[in-house]
């Protein structure tokens, strides 16, 4: 708990009891304020920072119950311990219903009130920490936390702000490391469902024979080892958001069952006979080209359209390299709590010319590496991995030849791109997906580039 000196207000019309409590609490290290009735206490609470109130119930001018109601009406959140005579415990119970933390009866033991005060202050501290952490979580996953001033990021954030309040299913696409789960959490925490659960599941990480039970739950005796009823992730996400990551890995049999659930808005546990209503928002994500998978027959077309009500495509880092300095500074601040981090000009040139196959996640790991290996205040070339430095050297050496008189940059770039694509296809045996992985681009990107250049299969 916080080590600050807590300020406790004693509200008691009996002078001797008020003074006794003051002496006791000061010995315990607390600061103490005094008021002889609820009305004076209310004025004091508005003027001073009070951490805890110990109040008698029966007092002139304003009773403890009336003080409690006034604090509630004015939205003043201070924990309150009521002191009451043994014969008036009903009033104390009424105070508890109105929000008092606890009550003690006269005469009380010193150890008793010490413990009640300690517990009340600890509860106040935990509630305050909970609010602070929720605020930090909201800030971390607000759309403003999506770092970048590039046109691609501004367009993305604008789209997310429009779709977050809706209930529509969302399909997030993008290469590995672009931050799909981060965006899914931001959508949830900026929606009306933010006070309810956000439940993520990686469809490719759970064995197929366990996936149905994980998603829908099971009844006791549904299969060997099912010795009790288990709720599934759909139930866990009730009234919240279910995030299905790597949806392209979902087996065909489960695709059928998921489609039925989305259509009927109800589901049934494995081995169960009762249909349970479903109230969730579904957000799915993939780094695969689901449209191509539909054409190939490996993903159901009807499920694709159910998931793809709103499509969000995350740009790869190489398409928004102008955001790299901001991202580096942000990652440094997250890992060290400081902001005084510079990027040496030579290192920045290498970062801007690198193709970033691992996207933002790769950059985050690189910053961590440079914090460990570098001087702690500047990102320099000597802390960069060989893959970045070597790639730049190889690229530059190819450009050192003389430029001919009839040189046309666009034609030269197209020739280079065509040559690289064909080499990648040759090396991957003509499989476009493998060629895309070899080049560090998405399947959709390689398909677009091949079509643009008129390169056949």
* pLDDT tens digits along 299-309: 999 999 999 99
Q: Could you tell me which of 299, 312, 171 has the C-alpha nearest to residue 245?
A: 171
Which H or E run includes 120? Answer: helix 110-140
Q: Per DSSP, what are the bridge partners of residue 33?
A: 9
Write down the pLDDT at residue 140.
54
> Using an 8 Å Cβ cutoff, are 353 and 392 in contact?
yes
- The CATH 1.10.8.60 domain(s) of the chain lie at 318-397
Write down the pLDDT at residue 132.
63
Start-to-end C-alpha separation, the chain: 66
Pick one of 3.30.70.260, 1.10.8.60, 1.10.10.10, 1.10.3720.10 as the CATH number of 318-397: 1.10.8.60
Write down the pLDDT at residue 433.
83
Beta pairing class for 52-56 and 80-85:
parallel
- Contacts with 167 (C-beta within 8 Å, 6 or more apart), sequence order: 281
CB atoms within 10 A of CB 379: 25
Residue carrying the six token digits 């997906």: 433
What CATH number should be reported for the domain whose range is 409-453? Answer: 1.10.10
To the question of domain 144-315 being in CATH 3.40.50.300, the answer is: yes
Beta pairing class for 170-173 and 241-245:
unpaired
Task: Map residue 367 onto helix, strand or coil.
Answer: helix
d(CA 2, CA 48): 19
| C-alpha neighbours within 13 Å on the C-beta side of residue 108 | 22
> Using an 8 Å Cβ cutoff, are 360 and 178 in contact?
yes
d(CA 285, CA 298): 16
Q: What is the mean pLDDT of the chain?
A: 85
Q: Could you tell me which of 244, 282, 27 has the C-alpha nearest to residue 167?
A: 282
Write down the pLDDT at residue 163.
93
- The CATH 1.10.10 domain(s) of the chain lie at 409-453
> Using an 8 Å Cβ cutoff, are 87 and 58 in contact?
no
* DSSP type of residue 245: E
Q: Per DSSP, what are the bridge partners of residue 233?
A: none
Fold entry, domain 7-137: Rossmann fold (3.40.50)
Write down the pLDDT at residue 172.
96
Which tens digits make up the pLDDT trace of 227-251? 888 888 888 899 999 999 999 999 9
Residue ranges in the chain whose pLDDT is less than 70: 1-4, 86-89, 92, 130-145, 391-407, 455-457
Which H or E run includes 396? Answer: helix 386-397
In this structure, what token pair is assigned to residue 353?
């010319």
- The CATH 3.40.50.300 domain(s) of the chain lie at 144-315
> Using an 8 Å Cβ cutoff, are 56 and 14 in contact?
yes
User: C-alpha angle 267/270/272, rounded to 5°?
Assistant: 75
Beta pairing class for 266-267 and 276-277:
antiparallel
Write down the pLDDT at residue 47.
85
CB atoms within 10 A of CB 420: 14
In this structure, what token pair is assigned to residue 214?
């994980």
Write down the pLDDT at residue 135.
55
Write down the pLDDT at residue 337.
83
- The CATH 3.40.50.2300 domain(s) of the chain lie at 7-137
């Amino acid at each position: 708990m916080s080590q600050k000196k807590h300020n406790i207000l004693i509200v008691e019309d009996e002078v001797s009891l008020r003074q006794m409590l003051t002496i006791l609490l000061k010995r315990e290290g607390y600061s103490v304020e005094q008021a002889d009735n609820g009305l004076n206490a209310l004025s004091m609470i508005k003027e001073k920072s009070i951490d805890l109130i110990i109040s008698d119930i029966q007092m002139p001018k304003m009773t403890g119950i009336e003080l409690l109601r006034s604090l509630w009406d004015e939205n003043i959140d201070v924990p309150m311990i009521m002191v009451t005579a043994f014969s008036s415990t009903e009033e104390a119970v009424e105070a508890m219903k109105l929000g008092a933390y606890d009550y003690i009866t006269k005469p009380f033991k010193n150890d008793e009130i010490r413990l009640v005060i300690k517990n009340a202050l600890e509860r106040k501290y935990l509630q305050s920490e909970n609010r602070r952490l929720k605020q930090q979580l909201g800030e971390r996953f607000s759309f403003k936390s999506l770092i970048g001033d590039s046109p691609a990021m501004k367009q993305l954030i604008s789209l997310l702000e429009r779709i977050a309040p809706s209930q529509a299913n969302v399909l997030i696409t993008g290469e590995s490391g672009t931050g799909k789960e981060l965006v899914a959490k931001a959508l949830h925490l900026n929606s009306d469902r933010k006070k309810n659960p956000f439940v993520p599941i990686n469809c490719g990480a759970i064995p197929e024979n366990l996936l149905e039970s994980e998603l829908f739950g099971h009844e006791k005796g549904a299969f060997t080892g099912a010795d009790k009823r288990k709720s599934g992730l759909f139930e866990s996400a009730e009234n919240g958001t279910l995030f299905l990551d790597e949806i392209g890995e979902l087996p065909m049999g489960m695709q059928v069952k998921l489609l039925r659930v989305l259509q009927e808005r109800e589901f049934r546990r494995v081995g169960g006979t009762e249909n349970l209503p479903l109230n969730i928002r579904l957000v799915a994500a993939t780094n695969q080209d689901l449209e191509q998978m539909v054409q190939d027959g490996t993903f159901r077309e009807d499920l694709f359209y159910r998931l793809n009500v709103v499509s969000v495509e995350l740009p790869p880092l190489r398409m928004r390299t102008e955001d790299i300095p901001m991202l580096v500074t942000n990652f440094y601040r997250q890992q060290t709590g400081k902001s005084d981090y510079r990027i040496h000009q030579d290192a920045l040139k290498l970062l801007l010319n690198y193709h970033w196959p691992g996207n933002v996640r790769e950059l985050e790991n690189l910053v961590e590496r440079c914090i460990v290996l570098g001087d702690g205040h500047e990102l320099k070339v000597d802390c960069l991995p060989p893959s970045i430095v070597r790639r730049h050297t190889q690229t530059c050496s190819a450009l050192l030849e003389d430029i001919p008189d009839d040189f046309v940059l666009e034609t030269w770039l197209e020739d280079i791109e065509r040559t690289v694509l064909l080499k990648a296809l040759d090396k991957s045996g003509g499989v476009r997906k493998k060629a895309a992985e070899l080049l560090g681009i998405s399947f959709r990107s390689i398909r677009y580039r091949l079509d643009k250049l008129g390169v056949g299969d």
